[in-house]
Amino acid sequence: MELPKNKYSDIPFYTQEAFMKKPVVFLMAMVFLLCINVHAADQWKLAKESEGIKVYTEKDPQGKAFDIFKGVCDVDAPWEVVLEVLKDQPSYTKWFPNCKECRLIKRDEKNNSVIYMVISPGWPVADRDVVFYTLNYDSPEKGEHTISLNYIKDSDGLVPLNKDYVRMLDIGGGYVLTKINKNKTTVSFTNRSDLGGNIPVSLVNFMAVDIPFKSLKGIREMAKKDEYYKKAGIQK
């Protein structure tokens, strides 16, 4: 489907090169994820540890009421395979908690993408939707691949507002895939979200523990599938 003309049309994709031409925007896209992943250990509070997955929470340094979360686990698959799982947006309804819909709007040759997602927290909270872009960044010297998730403000030009959904006000964070060896990867998922509308902070903060745990568990299961090894060009 052809995208309507909008104020984002002059940026073909949200590529690293495009952002490097706009240093301030590039820094805003990456600084949140990088900063919260290098926070001092005593800033994070262990909220849950089960099935080899650890979930930490932290108060938002910007003073917002909603907590930041970070989930960490090891996945028995190469990082390239994990990346293929994360690139498969339609599959998110199978493993990402409360995901009702996830679709790719556009993607460039470096896998930087614009994505639309619908989240269904469950009664009595109305469904939420959000449009965000991902920015991929390799650090070969660290054996890391970073995928930042960045909210697109005024996104109705890309995806019209739906009266059945509340458009989320903010999202930031992302994934860090760290190579342990050729067959094993540490996956870190960090996020902070403002769901918008009238929703209790306590519910959002409860989800801040539930979401990373279930999503990492889902990634671990999805990464076992032959199809993602095939897409990554790796013999299982």
pLDDT digits (tens, 9 = 90+) for 9-56: 333 333 334 433 444 444 444 444 444 454 445 578 899 999 999 999
Q: What is the CATH number of the domain that holds 181?
A: 3.30.530.20
What's the confidence (pLDDT) of residue 138?
A: 87
pLDDT digits (tens, 9 = 90+) for 119-162: 997 777 789 999 998 888 888 888 899 998 888 888 888 899 99
**Mean pLDDT confidence for 64-84:** 90
Q: Are the CB atoms for 152 and 168 separated by under 8 Å?
A: no
Cα angle 7, 8, 13 (rounded to 5 degrees) comes to 165
**Mean pLDDT confidence for 80-107:** 95
Cβ contacts of residue 58 below 8 Å, gap of 6+? 36, 39, 43, 44, 45, 67, 68, 69, 70
**Mean pLDDT confidence for 72-98:** 96
**Mean pLDDT confidence for 72-80:** 97
| DSSP-derived secondary structure letter, 168 | P
Rounded Cα–Cα distance for residues 206 and 209 (Å): 6
What's the confidence (pLDDT) of residue 65?
A: 60
**Does residue 10 sit within a domain?**
no
**Does residue 75 sit within a domain?**
yes
For 207, the token pair is 């989800």
Q: What's the maximum distance between 2 C-alpha atoms anywhere in the chain?
A: 49
Cβ contacts of residue 197 below 8 Å, gap of 6+? 126, 128, 166
Q: At what angle do helices 79-87 and 201-222 cross, to 10 degrees?
A: 120
For 93, the token pair is 């309804």
**Mean pLDDT confidence for 183-203:** 80
Rounded Cα–Cα distance for residues 142 and 147 (Å): 15
**Does residue 43 sit within a domain?**
yes
**Does residue 2 sit within a domain?**
no
Q: Are the CB atoms for 134 and 112 separated by under 8 Å?
A: yes
Task: Quote the number of domains for the chain.
Answer: 1
Q: Domain residues for 52?
A: 16-232
